[in-house]
Amino acid sequence: MDRRQPPQTEEGWYVLHDFRSIDWDAWRAAPERERTRAIEEGIDYLSAREAVVDAAEGESATFSVLGHKADLLFLHLRPTLGDIDALERQFERTALADFTERADSYLSVTEVSGYMSQDYFEEGETADTGIAQYIESRLKPELPDADFLSFYPMSKRRGPDHNWYELPFDERADYLSNHGEIGKDYAGRVTQIISGSIGLDDFEWGITLFGDDPTDVKELLYEMRFDPSSSRFAEFGRFLSARRFPPEQLDAYLAGDRVPQDESEQGHPHGSSSGHPHGDSGGHPHGESGGHPHGGSEGGGHHDHGDASDDDVRSELEEMGVYAGQPHGEDVHAVVLYSAADPDDLFEEVEGLRTNFDHYDTHVKTAVYEPSEGSDEDAETAVVSLWETDRAANTAAGFLADLPDVVRQAGDDSASDDSWGTMGMFYTVEPDHREDFVDTFSDVAGVLADMDGHRKTDLLANREDENDMFIASRWDSREDAMAFFRSDEFSETVDYGRDILADRPRHVFLA
């Protein structure tokens, strides 16, 4: 009798979906001081879990459950079962726990299998870097900042007519590949975490879907129901839906107010709690990935050192009629690295990373900028990666830092012990005026060469869009750069640029 080939698997973080119901009668009857203590200890506990102060790494989030099945969901991902076990008991020590009962729970572990990439398991350490990094992101996922969550357990059918485990490996792989193609149509709208639970809980997998629009999740699941992988072979448990809110709004939640609240709605005393790490990675392990968050935009980036002189520079540029971008980048954050590697080799590596980045709805753009006409012979190639969140940019910086022959990262103060800074000035050039722009750059480069404190200036162009240009200048000091900004030559260049650029230029310090 032949035994079917099981796929190889690799496991990552353990996942606990902890569903809690609130004893509302007890809550209403409790003295005000007991409710206040429960709120304070609940906020402290949940904020600390989301900041991951209890483990070396991981993720946590808090949700309001919709419907009768529970009231709250605490979602935790941690490296070990010991971590999961401890944080469960730590909650029971809070005053908030006295007003809750566990309505349900689900234990699983993040997982990737040979269905996803057999090469990864066969090649081991020699596997493609891009594939390896993508799989790592599945084993140690970042919880998206989406509003809506849908969780359900599922198993593969073992019935007399359709038995998943009796199918040959290649046939199972084809089913799952076709199934996955449906999900690609929802990239950027729905994000998933798949965790295995064979031997850990009642079903074989736990599926957690995230999206800002619940109807996107509904449409995805509805479409997948018609795919044979589901229609023939899937069996589902019950579905639970929830909405995310920050821990510091726990008192608003318990008061029956709308959550999550925006800033204009936050009147409760805990509205200023800093325990929520999303949008602020300062105390979170993911903020230590070796990269730095750089504010940016489709055309620029800015590294904020917390120095008030940054605002002074920005104000002075505004007075000169020069747009300097927003202080933290226009709702996106940039990572900019420079590499001395062969541009073709570098582009191939970046393309692999970008394919993986595109699985995240926080990814805006990743591109390679090559030295263009008029650049110095020693000009490096730049890699620019734009993200919607500071935290996602930090995580991406860790992957990008492994690119070949990286010589420096914009904003990395440790790259040099002197005081020079780097400016990034991004331009989108009208196609009919690209040659004019390059010629003008050559004229300006001649002026720069004679300026005090100027080290080098390079013109770089997006490898995939030659009209997307990036100028990188290096100076002995910030004041040397400002001297150029104040010059007549620069003013004339700005006036000229308004006629040939598709969008206004952004003159942004990358340090």
How many angstroms from the chain centroid is the CA of residue 23?
36
Q: Which of 152, 175, 253, 338 does the annotation list as catalytic?
A: 152
Mean pLDDT (whole number) for 166-174: 92
Angstrom distances, CA of residue 178 to CA of 184, 226, 267: 10, 12, 49
Is the Cβ–Cβ distance between 160 and 166 less than 8 Å? Answer: no
33's torsion region: left (phi>0), alpha (psi -120 to 50) or beta? alpha
Nearest-angstrom CA–CA distance, 75 and 60: 5
- Average model confidence (pLDDT) across the chain: 80
Regarding whether 198 and 334 lie in a shared domain, the answer is no
Regarding whether 463 and 352 lie in a shared domain, the answer is yes
Regarding whether 398 and 311 lie in a shared domain, the answer is yes
Regarding whether 491 and 434 lie in a shared domain, the answer is yes
**Strand, coil or helix: 240:** strand
pLDDT tens-place string over residues 340-374: 999 999 999 999 888 878 877 788 889 999 988 65
The mean-pLDDT minimum among 3-12, 43-52, 276-285, 349-358 falls in 276-285
Question: Please, which pLDDT band fits residue 181 given cuts at 50, 70 and 90?
Answer: confident
Quickly count helices (H) and strands (E) in the chain.
15, 19
Is residue 199 over pLDDT 80?
A: yes
Is residue 193 over pLDDT 80?
A: yes
Q: What is the CATH number of the domain that holds 140?
A: 3.30.70.1030
The mean-pLDDT minimum among 252-256, 293-297, 368-372, 397-401 falls in 293-297
Is residue 309 over pLDDT 60?
A: no
Task: Give a yes or no: residue 32 inside a domain.
Answer: yes
Predicted confidence at residue 1, as pLDDT, reads 59
The mean-pLDDT minimum among 8-22, 111-125, 199-213, 425-439 falls in 111-125
Predicted confidence at residue 150, as pLDDT, reads 98
Is the Cβ–Cβ distance between 208 and 139 less than 8 Å? Answer: no
Task: Give a yes or no: residue 449 inside a domain.
Answer: yes
Mean pLDDT (whole number) for 241-264: 91
pLDDT tens-place string over residues 455-472: 888 888 999 999 888 888
Task: Give a yes or no: residue 227 inside a domain.
Answer: no
Regarding whether 254 and 110 lie in a shared domain, the answer is yes
Task: Give a yes or no: residue 218 inside a domain.
Answer: no
Number of domains within the chain: 2
Nearest-angstrom CA–CA distance, 245 and 60: 12
Task: Residue 315: count other Cβ atoms within 10 Å of its Cβ.
Answer: 11
Task: Residue 266: count other Cβ atoms within 10 Å of its Cβ.
Answer: 17
Regarding whether 246 and 301 lie in a shared domain, the answer is no
Regarding whether 415 and 309 lie in a shared domain, the answer is yes
Task: Give a yes or no: residue 330 inside a domain.
Answer: yes
Q: Is 152 noted as a catalytic residue in this protein?
A: yes
How many angstroms from the chain centroid is the CA of residue 254?
30
What is the DSSP pairing of strand 294-297 with strand 381-387?
unpaired
Is the Cβ–Cβ distance between 344 and 403 less than 8 Å? Answer: no
Predicted confidence at residue 277, as pLDDT, reads 29
Regarding whether 423 and 290 lie in a shared domain, the answer is yes
Q: Where are the alpha helices (DSSP H) in 140-213?
A: 169-184
**Among 97, 90, 110, CA closest to 9:** 110
Nearest-angstrom CA–CA distance, 432 and 150: 49
Task: Give a yes or no: residue 169 inside a domain.
Answer: no
CA angle 471, 472, 478 (to 5 degrees): 125
Can you list the pairs that 251-260 forms with residues at least 24 positions away whose Cβ atoms lie under 8 Å? 251/39, 251/43, 253/64, 254/22, 254/27, 254/35, 254/39, 259/64, 260/147
Is the Cβ–Cβ distance between 285 and 492 less than 8 Å? Answer: no
The range of the structural domain enclosing residue 456 comes to: 286-509
The mean-pLDDT minimum among 53-57, 69-73, 456-460, 478-482 falls in 478-482
Predicted confidence at residue 472, as pLDDT, reads 81
Count the helix, strand and coil residues of the chain and give each as a percent rounded to the nearest 5.
40, 30, 35
Nearest-angstrom CA–CA distance, 64 and 66: 6
- DSSP character string of 14-73: EEEEEEEEE-HHHHHHS-HHHHHHHHHHHHHHHHHHHTTTTSSS-EEEEEEEPSSS-SEE
Mean pLDDT (whole number) for 71-83: 98
Nearest-angstrom CA–CA distance, 197 and 120: 22
Q: What is the CATH number of the domain that holds 389?
A: 3.30.70.100
**Among 424, 380, 368, CA closest to 406:** 380
The mean-pLDDT minimum among 9-23, 56-70, 422-436 falls in 422-436
Regarding whether 316 and 248 lie in a shared domain, the answer is no
Nearest-angstrom CA–CA distance, 502 and 203: 55
Mean pLDDT (whole number) for 124-143: 75
Whether the pTM exceeds 0.85: the reply is no
Nearest-angstrom CA–CA distance, 27 and 45: 19
Angstrom distances, CA of residue 382 to CA of 107, 324, 368: 43, 20, 6
Regarding whether 485 and 373 lie in a shared domain, the answer is yes
Predicted confidence at residue 275, as pLDDT, reads 32
Regarding whether 477 and 443 lie in a shared domain, the answer is yes
The torsion defined by the Cα of 127, 129, 135 and 137, in degrees rounded to 10, comes to: 160
Q: What angle do the packed helices 308-319 and 478-485 form, to 10 degrees?
A: 10
Regarding whether 381 and 350 lie in a shared domain, the answer is yes
Give the start-end residues of each E strand in 54-156: 59-65, 72-78, 100-113, 148-156
Percent of the chain scoring above 70 in pLDDT: 76
Predicted confidence at residue 394, as pLDDT, reads 74
Task: Give a yes or no: residue 174 inside a domain.
Answer: no
